[in-house]
Amino acid sequence: MKIGILGTRGIPNQHGGFEQFAEFVAPALVARGHEVWVYNSSLHPFGGSSWHGVTLIKEKDLEDRIGTAGQFVYDLNCILDARKRGFDVVLQLGYTSSSIWRRLMPRNAIVVTNMDGLEWKRSKYSSPVQSFLKRAEKWAVKGSDALIADSKGIQAYLAEKYKKDSTFIAYGATLFDKPDAAVTEKYGLSPYSYNLLIARMEPENNIEAILKGQLDSTGNEKLILIGNYGNKFGSYLKAKYDDPRAVFLGPVYDLTALNNLRYFSNLYFHGHSVGGTNPSLLEAMASNALVLAHDNIFNRTVLEEDAFYFSTFQDITSLLDQRLAKSDYATLLENNRQKIRESYSWDHITGLLEACLTEALRTGRRR
Protein backbone atom coordinates (compact mmCIF):
# COMPACT_ATOMS: atom_id res chain seq x y z
CA MET A 1 0.00 0.00 0.00
CA LYS A 2 0.97 3.60 -0.55
CA ILE A 3 -0.06 5.32 2.68
CA GLY A 4 -0.20 9.05 3.45
CA ILE A 5 -0.39 10.07 7.11
CA LEU A 6 -1.96 13.47 7.80
CA GLY A 7 -2.91 15.30 10.97
CA THR A 8 0.38 15.56 12.84
CA ARG A 9 2.98 18.29 13.19
CA GLY A 10 5.42 15.68 11.96
CA ILE A 11 8.06 13.16 12.96
CA PRO A 12 10.31 12.59 14.79
CA ASN A 13 7.93 13.46 17.62
CA GLN A 14 8.32 16.94 19.05
CA HIS A 15 4.76 17.47 20.18
CA GLY A 16 2.25 14.88 21.38
CA GLY A 17 0.25 11.69 21.07
CA PHE A 18 -0.49 11.53 17.35
CA GLU A 19 3.09 12.46 16.54
CA GLN A 20 4.27 9.66 18.80
CA PHE A 21 1.87 7.25 17.10
CA ALA A 22 3.17 8.22 13.66
CA GLU A 23 6.79 8.06 14.82
CA PHE A 24 6.41 4.40 15.76
CA VAL A 25 3.93 2.99 13.23
CA ALA A 26 5.19 4.72 10.07
CA PRO A 27 8.67 3.09 10.09
CA ALA A 28 7.11 -0.19 11.21
CA LEU A 29 4.75 -0.16 8.22
CA VAL A 30 7.73 0.56 5.95
CA ALA A 31 9.48 -2.48 7.45
CA ARG A 32 6.39 -4.52 6.51
CA GLY A 33 6.76 -3.55 2.87
CA HIS A 34 4.51 -0.50 2.55
CA GLU A 35 5.36 2.92 1.14
CA VAL A 36 4.62 5.51 3.83
CA TRP A 37 4.57 9.30 3.61
CA VAL A 38 4.15 11.57 6.64
CA TYR A 39 3.32 15.27 6.42
CA ASN A 40 5.51 17.55 8.54
CA SER A 41 4.82 21.14 9.50
CA SER A 42 7.21 23.72 8.07
CA LEU A 43 7.77 24.68 11.73
CA HIS A 44 9.12 21.22 12.59
CA PRO A 45 12.86 21.43 13.36
CA PHE A 46 13.79 18.24 11.51
CA GLY A 47 15.08 19.16 8.09
CA GLY A 48 15.45 15.82 6.35
CA SER A 49 13.26 14.49 3.55
CA SER A 50 13.09 10.97 5.01
CA TRP A 51 13.27 9.33 8.40
CA HIS A 52 13.80 5.59 8.97
CA GLY A 53 12.48 4.83 5.50
CA VAL A 54 9.46 7.14 5.80
CA THR A 55 9.17 9.89 3.17
CA LEU A 56 8.54 13.29 4.77
CA ILE A 57 6.61 16.09 3.06
CA LYS A 58 6.94 19.58 4.56
CA GLU A 59 3.96 21.88 4.13
CA LYS A 60 3.53 25.53 5.06
CA ASP A 61 2.24 26.09 8.60
CA LEU A 62 1.31 29.60 9.71
CA GLU A 63 0.52 28.81 13.34
CA ASP A 64 3.50 30.81 14.54
CA ARG A 65 2.14 33.90 12.75
CA ILE A 66 -1.64 33.66 13.01
CA GLY A 67 -2.20 31.28 15.92
CA THR A 68 -4.69 28.41 15.88
CA ALA A 69 -6.03 29.41 12.45
CA GLY A 70 -2.66 28.37 11.08
CA GLN A 71 -3.56 24.73 11.78
CA PHE A 72 -6.43 24.98 9.29
CA VAL A 73 -4.06 26.41 6.67
CA TYR A 74 -1.53 23.65 7.32
CA ASP A 75 -4.17 20.90 7.02
CA LEU A 76 -5.47 22.44 3.79
CA ASN A 77 -1.95 22.48 2.34
CA CYS A 78 -1.45 18.83 3.29
CA ILE A 79 -4.76 17.74 1.76
CA LEU A 80 -4.14 19.63 -1.47
CA ASP A 81 -0.72 18.02 -1.78
CA ALA A 82 -2.16 14.57 -1.04
CA ARG A 83 -4.41 14.91 -4.08
CA LYS A 84 -1.29 14.71 -6.27
CA ARG A 85 0.42 11.75 -4.61
CA GLY A 86 -1.65 8.74 -5.69
CA PHE A 87 -2.09 7.36 -2.18
CA ASP A 88 -4.06 4.16 -1.77
CA VAL A 89 -4.98 5.12 1.78
CA VAL A 90 -4.97 8.42 3.64
CA LEU A 91 -4.66 7.89 7.38
CA GLN A 92 -5.98 11.01 9.07
CA LEU A 93 -4.94 11.37 12.72
CA GLY A 94 -7.64 13.52 14.30
CA TYR A 95 -10.17 15.79 12.68
CA THR A 96 -10.19 19.09 14.57
CA SER A 97 -8.87 21.36 11.83
CA SER A 98 -9.06 19.09 8.78
CA SER A 99 -12.78 18.24 8.77
CA ILE A 100 -13.82 21.47 7.04
CA TRP A 101 -11.68 20.43 4.06
CA ARG A 102 -13.12 16.90 3.89
CA ARG A 103 -14.61 17.40 0.41
CA LEU A 104 -11.09 18.11 -0.90
CA MET A 105 -9.70 14.73 0.17
CA PRO A 106 -8.11 12.74 -2.70
CA ARG A 107 -10.86 11.16 -4.79
CA ASN A 108 -9.02 7.93 -5.47
CA ALA A 109 -7.83 7.27 -1.92
CA ILE A 110 -9.55 5.52 0.97
CA VAL A 111 -9.80 7.81 3.99
CA VAL A 112 -9.35 6.25 7.45
CA THR A 113 -9.73 8.60 10.42
CA ASN A 114 -8.49 8.12 13.97
CA MET A 115 -11.21 9.95 15.90
CA ASP A 116 -9.12 10.90 18.95
CA GLY A 117 -10.95 11.73 22.20
CA LEU A 118 -14.04 13.81 22.91
CA GLU A 119 -12.36 17.06 21.96
CA TRP A 120 -15.52 19.14 22.38
CA LYS A 121 -15.57 18.30 26.09
CA ARG A 122 -12.26 19.97 26.81
CA SER A 123 -12.84 22.86 29.21
CA LYS A 124 -10.06 24.94 27.68
CA TYR A 125 -12.32 25.60 24.69
CA SER A 126 -14.97 28.31 24.64
CA SER A 127 -18.61 27.44 23.95
CA PRO A 128 -18.40 28.46 20.26
CA VAL A 129 -15.29 26.33 19.78
CA GLN A 130 -16.90 23.37 21.54
CA SER A 131 -19.91 23.75 19.25
CA PHE A 132 -17.63 23.76 16.20
CA LEU A 133 -15.80 20.66 17.43
CA LYS A 134 -19.09 18.79 17.77
CA ARG A 135 -19.89 19.60 14.16
CA ALA A 136 -16.35 18.73 13.06
CA GLU A 137 -16.67 15.34 14.74
CA LYS A 138 -19.86 14.68 12.76
CA TRP A 139 -18.22 15.80 9.50
CA ALA A 140 -15.26 13.51 10.11
CA VAL A 141 -17.50 10.51 10.72
CA LYS A 142 -19.48 11.26 7.57
CA GLY A 143 -16.44 11.91 5.39
CA SER A 144 -14.41 8.81 6.30
CA ASP A 145 -14.46 5.35 4.77
CA ALA A 146 -13.37 3.76 8.06
CA LEU A 147 -12.94 4.93 11.64
CA ILE A 148 -10.36 4.12 14.29
CA ALA A 149 -11.11 4.53 18.00
CA ASP A 150 -8.10 4.69 20.31
CA SER A 151 -10.12 3.47 23.30
CA LYS A 152 -13.05 1.15 23.87
CA GLY A 153 -14.88 4.08 25.43
CA ILE A 154 -14.61 6.07 22.19
CA GLN A 155 -15.59 2.99 20.21
CA ALA A 156 -18.78 2.66 22.27
CA TYR A 157 -19.48 6.39 21.90
CA LEU A 158 -19.21 6.27 18.09
CA ALA A 159 -21.52 3.27 17.95
CA GLU A 160 -24.14 4.93 20.16
CA LYS A 161 -23.90 8.48 18.79
CA TYR A 162 -23.46 7.79 15.06
CA LYS A 163 -24.37 4.10 14.70
CA LYS A 164 -20.92 3.63 13.18
CA ASP A 165 -18.53 0.74 13.66
CA SER A 166 -14.91 1.53 14.35
CA THR A 167 -11.71 -0.44 14.84
CA PHE A 168 -10.14 -0.27 18.29
CA ILE A 169 -6.46 0.60 17.89
CA ALA A 170 -4.81 2.21 20.89
CA TYR A 171 -1.40 3.77 21.25
CA GLY A 172 1.57 1.61 22.08
CA ALA A 173 4.39 1.63 24.59
CA THR A 174 7.78 -0.01 25.13
CA LEU A 175 8.58 -1.77 28.39
CA PHE A 176 11.20 0.10 30.41
CA ASP A 177 13.69 -2.38 31.86
CA LYS A 178 16.83 -0.32 32.54
CA PRO A 179 16.16 1.79 35.65
CA ASP A 180 18.92 4.03 36.93
CA ALA A 181 18.34 5.59 40.35
CA ALA A 182 21.06 8.14 39.67
CA VAL A 183 18.67 9.90 37.28
CA THR A 184 16.32 10.80 40.14
CA GLU A 185 19.22 12.27 42.09
CA LYS A 186 19.69 14.86 39.34
CA TYR A 187 16.28 16.18 40.34
CA GLY A 188 17.05 16.10 44.07
CA LEU A 189 14.85 13.05 44.64
CA SER A 190 15.29 9.70 46.35
CA PRO A 191 13.70 6.56 44.91
CA TYR A 192 10.11 5.92 46.05
CA SER A 193 10.00 9.05 48.22
CA TYR A 194 7.75 11.09 45.91
CA ASN A 195 4.50 10.95 43.97
CA LEU A 196 4.43 11.98 40.32
CA LEU A 197 2.13 13.70 37.83
CA ILE A 198 2.93 14.19 34.13
CA ALA A 199 0.29 16.13 32.22
CA ARG A 200 -0.61 19.24 30.30
CA MET A 201 -1.77 21.92 32.69
CA GLU A 202 -5.46 21.79 31.73
CA PRO A 203 -8.55 21.59 34.00
CA GLU A 204 -9.84 18.33 32.49
CA ASN A 205 -6.68 16.58 33.71
CA ASN A 206 -7.87 17.06 37.32
CA ILE A 207 -4.56 18.57 38.40
CA GLU A 208 -6.12 20.84 41.00
CA ALA A 209 -7.94 17.92 42.64
CA ILE A 210 -4.66 15.98 42.72
CA LEU A 211 -2.79 18.91 44.26
CA LYS A 212 -5.43 19.56 46.88
CA GLY A 213 -5.81 15.88 47.67
CA GLN A 214 -2.07 15.47 48.16
CA LEU A 215 -1.58 18.62 50.22
CA ASP A 216 -4.55 17.82 52.46
CA SER A 217 -3.08 14.43 53.31
CA THR A 218 -1.04 13.88 56.44
CA GLY A 219 2.07 12.62 54.66
CA ASN A 220 5.19 14.65 53.90
CA GLU A 221 6.08 13.16 50.52
CA LYS A 222 6.45 15.55 47.60
CA LEU A 223 4.23 15.74 44.55
CA ILE A 224 6.39 16.26 41.46
CA LEU A 225 4.49 17.91 38.60
CA ILE A 226 5.95 17.67 35.09
CA GLY A 227 4.36 19.84 32.42
CA ASN A 228 4.55 23.36 31.07
CA TYR A 229 2.91 25.61 33.68
CA GLY A 230 3.38 28.79 31.64
CA ASN A 231 -0.26 28.92 30.53
CA LYS A 232 -3.01 30.68 32.48
CA PHE A 233 -4.21 27.60 34.33
CA GLY A 234 -0.70 26.41 35.14
CA SER A 235 0.27 29.82 36.50
CA TYR A 236 -2.87 29.83 38.65
CA LEU A 237 -2.05 26.41 40.10
CA LYS A 238 1.56 27.28 40.85
CA ALA A 239 0.55 30.48 42.64
CA LYS A 240 -2.33 28.96 44.61
CA TYR A 241 -0.52 25.80 45.71
CA ASP A 242 2.71 27.40 46.81
CA ASP A 243 3.90 24.62 49.09
CA PRO A 244 7.27 22.85 49.48
CA ARG A 245 5.49 19.54 48.88
CA ALA A 246 4.29 20.64 45.42
CA VAL A 247 7.26 20.84 43.04
CA PHE A 248 6.55 22.21 39.56
CA LEU A 249 9.43 20.96 37.43
CA GLY A 250 8.11 22.31 34.15
CA PRO A 251 8.42 20.28 30.95
CA VAL A 252 10.84 17.34 30.69
CA TYR A 253 11.39 15.93 27.20
CA ASP A 254 14.13 13.39 27.89
CA LEU A 255 12.39 10.00 27.63
CA THR A 256 15.02 8.22 29.70
CA ALA A 257 14.58 10.76 32.50
CA LEU A 258 10.79 10.46 32.33
CA ASN A 259 10.89 6.68 32.42
CA ASN A 260 13.18 6.71 35.44
CA LEU A 261 11.09 9.29 37.27
CA ARG A 262 8.01 7.12 36.67
CA TYR A 263 9.83 3.93 37.67
CA PHE A 264 11.12 5.34 40.97
CA SER A 265 7.93 7.17 41.96
CA ASN A 266 5.91 5.73 44.82
CA LEU A 267 2.56 6.68 43.27
CA TYR A 268 1.73 7.99 39.83
CA PHE A 269 -1.32 10.21 39.26
CA HIS A 270 -3.22 10.04 35.98
CA GLY A 271 -6.02 12.59 35.99
CA HIS A 272 -6.96 12.65 32.30
CA SER A 273 -10.72 12.50 31.89
CA VAL A 274 -11.87 13.31 28.33
CA GLY A 275 -9.38 11.68 25.98
CA GLY A 276 -9.15 8.12 24.76
CA THR A 277 -6.28 5.79 25.60
CA ASN A 278 -3.61 8.19 26.77
CA PRO A 279 0.02 7.55 25.73
CA SER A 280 1.39 8.81 29.05
CA LEU A 281 -0.73 6.26 30.92
CA LEU A 282 0.66 3.40 28.83
CA GLU A 283 4.19 4.70 29.38
CA ALA A 284 3.55 4.81 33.13
CA MET A 285 2.35 1.20 33.07
CA ALA A 286 5.39 0.20 31.00
CA SER A 287 7.64 1.97 33.53
CA ASN A 288 6.36 0.02 36.53
CA ALA A 289 4.35 2.91 38.00
CA LEU A 290 1.65 2.32 40.62
CA VAL A 291 -1.25 4.32 39.21
CA LEU A 292 -3.92 6.42 40.90
CA ALA A 293 -6.26 7.28 38.04
CA HIS A 294 -9.34 9.41 37.56
CA ASP A 295 -12.37 7.13 37.57
CA ASN A 296 -13.73 7.11 34.01
CA ILE A 297 -14.37 4.59 31.25
CA PHE A 298 -11.23 5.53 29.31
CA ASN A 299 -8.89 4.80 32.21
CA ARG A 300 -10.79 1.77 33.51
CA THR A 301 -10.78 -0.03 30.17
CA VAL A 302 -6.99 0.17 30.14
CA LEU A 303 -6.10 -0.35 33.80
CA GLU A 304 -9.05 -2.55 34.78
CA GLU A 305 -8.58 -3.62 38.43
CA ASP A 306 -4.85 -2.97 38.47
CA ALA A 307 -4.92 0.59 39.79
CA PHE A 308 -6.49 2.84 42.41
CA TYR A 309 -9.19 5.30 41.33
CA PHE A 310 -10.41 8.71 42.47
CA SER A 311 -13.29 11.01 41.62
CA THR A 312 -12.70 13.83 44.11
CA PHE A 313 -9.79 15.34 45.99
CA GLN A 314 -11.21 13.73 49.15
CA ASP A 315 -10.74 10.32 47.53
CA ILE A 316 -7.09 11.15 46.94
CA THR A 317 -6.55 12.33 50.51
CA SER A 318 -8.16 9.17 51.85
CA LEU A 319 -5.98 6.95 49.68
CA LEU A 320 -2.78 8.79 50.59
CA ASP A 321 -3.60 8.64 54.28
CA GLN A 322 -3.57 4.85 53.95
CA ARG A 323 0.18 5.16 53.31
CA LEU A 324 0.14 3.16 50.09
CA ALA A 325 3.57 1.71 49.37
CA LYS A 326 4.50 0.63 45.87
CA SER A 327 6.40 -2.39 47.15
CA ASP A 328 3.13 -3.88 48.42
CA TYR A 329 1.52 -4.04 44.98
CA ALA A 330 3.89 -6.07 42.83
CA THR A 331 0.99 -8.03 41.32
CA LEU A 332 -0.73 -4.87 40.04
CA LEU A 333 2.53 -3.64 38.54
CA GLU A 334 3.22 -6.91 36.75
CA ASN A 335 -0.37 -7.18 35.50
CA ASN A 336 -0.02 -3.77 33.86
CA ARG A 337 3.32 -4.67 32.29
CA GLN A 338 1.72 -7.82 30.91
CA LYS A 339 -1.00 -5.66 29.30
CA ILE A 340 1.76 -3.74 27.53
CA ARG A 341 3.32 -6.98 26.27
CA GLU A 342 0.07 -8.48 25.04
CA SER A 343 -2.13 -5.57 23.99
CA TYR A 344 -0.11 -2.37 23.71
CA SER A 345 3.26 -3.26 22.23
CA TRP A 346 4.06 -1.22 19.13
CA ASP A 347 4.42 -4.39 17.07
CA HIS A 348 0.91 -5.46 18.05
CA ILE A 349 -0.51 -1.98 17.38
CA THR A 350 1.18 -1.86 13.97
CA GLY A 351 -0.33 -5.24 13.09
CA LEU A 352 -3.81 -4.02 13.99
CA LEU A 353 -3.33 -0.85 11.95
CA GLU A 354 -2.02 -2.73 8.92
CA ALA A 355 -5.03 -5.06 9.02
CA CYS A 356 -7.42 -2.11 9.39
CA LEU A 357 -5.94 -0.22 6.42
CA THR A 358 -5.88 -3.36 4.28
CA GLU A 359 -9.54 -4.07 5.00
CA ALA A 360 -10.51 -0.45 4.41
CA LEU A 361 -8.75 -0.53 1.05
CA ARG A 362 -10.59 -3.72 0.14
CA THR A 363 -14.07 -2.53 1.12
CA GLY A 364 -13.98 1.29 1.04
CA ARG A 365 -15.56 3.47 -1.58
CA ARG A 366 -13.62 5.65 -4.00
CA ARG A 367 -14.66 9.27 -4.17
Structural domains of the chain, ranges and CATH numbers in brackets: 2-172+345-363 (3.40.50.2000), 182-343 (3.40.50.2000)
Average pLDDT over residues 75-84: 96
Say which range, 147-161, 203-217, 336-350, has the weakest mean pLDDT.
147-161
Task: With residue 5 as reference, give the H or E element that holds it.
Answer: strand 2-6
Instruction: Enumerate the H helices of 10-67 as residue ranges.
Output: 17-31, 63-66
pLDDT bucket at 123, cuts 50 / 70 / 90: low
pTM for the model: 0.87
Q: Give the pLDDT of residue 120.
A: 54
Residue with the larger pLDDT of the pair 140 and 2: 2
By three-state DSSP, how is residue 317 classified?
helix
Q: Tell me: the pLDDT tens digits for 221-272?
A: 999 999 999 999 999 999 999 999 999 999 998 889 999 999 999 999 999 9
Neighbouring CB atoms inside 10 A of 341's CB total: 12
How far apart, in Å, do the first and last CA atoms of the chain sit?
18
